[in-house]
Amino acid sequence: MKTAHEPNPVLALLPRAQAGESQAMNELLMHITPYVARVCTSVAPHHSSDAMQEALLAIYRGLRTLREPAAFFGWVRSVTVREAVRTVKRLNDSTTYSPVEARHDSNPLDRVHINDVLERLSTPHREVLTLRAWGLNEEEMAETLHLPLGTVRSRLHRARRCFQEAWYPSAA
């Protein structure tokens, strides 16, 4: 068990990996692989292994461009989501995004209902809601989806409205 005084092994490996030390790079990638796999499984369930491979490769190639080590995990998340979206689009999957995982302990039936509502939404609406759930802001979503910012904003607005109408059908 890691104590408060132990340094984070990833942050200790980061400068060495950025400097080109291959052993440090291998260890760094091994440490983040479970996290990358979880993100890919959520965003691209039918192609998670392909998405994970692409994400790890993009992280490997782009690690030297990371300027702020404290932003490492946010950067990894952003790269992973972008690569998972690209993989799904490249493989032309009609079930683009898996339902959003619940972030807290809640009623398991809520997850089933949320998943059901998300599956009834259009792919563009499911995309923006999933990316928002992963913490991307509108600008990051626009970059990831290769769309204008205004398009992302309108899709997000409509997706929220459609989700709410499906979640509360009597209110519509």
> Residue 102 has what pLDDT?
39
Greatest Cα-to-Cα distance within the chain, rounded to the nearest angstrom: 60
Q: Does CATH number 1.10.1740.10 belong to domain 1-95?
A: yes
Decide: 72 and 14 in contact? Cβ < 8 Å. Answer: yes
Helix axes of 72-90 and 138-145: crossing angle, nearest 10 degrees: 40
At residue 103, the pLDDT reads 46
* The pLDDT value given to residue 69: 84
The share of the chain scoring above pLDDT 90, in percent, equals 30
Q: How many CA atoms lie within 13 A of 137 on its CB side?
A: 2
pLDDT value at position 6? Answer: 55
Q: What does the DSSP 8-state code read for residue 134?
A: T
User: Per-residue pLDDT for the chain (172 aa), expressed as one digit of tens each?
Assistant: 444 555 678 888 999 999 999 999 999 999 999 999 988 888 888 888 999 999 999 999 999 998 888 889 888 988 998 888 888 888 864 444 444 443 444 555 566 677 777 778 888 888 888 888 877 889 888 888 888 999 999 999 999 998 888 877 665 4
Domain ranges of the chain: 1-95, 99-172
Q: Within 10 A of 25 (CB to CB), how many other CB atoms are there?
A: 19
> Tokens representing 139?
């600008």
pTM over 0.75: no
d(CA 81, CA 51): 9
- The pLDDT value recorded for residue 104 is 45
Among 1, 57, 71, smallest CA distance to 29 is for 57
Domain 99-172 top-level CATH class: mainly alpha
pLDDT in tens, 8-32: 788 889 999 999 999 999 999 999 9
**1-95 shares its CATH topology with 99-172:** no
Element containing residue 31 per DSSP (H, E): helix 22-43
Q: What is the pLDDT, as a whole number, of residue 122? A: 87
C-beta separation of 10 from 28 below 8 A = yes
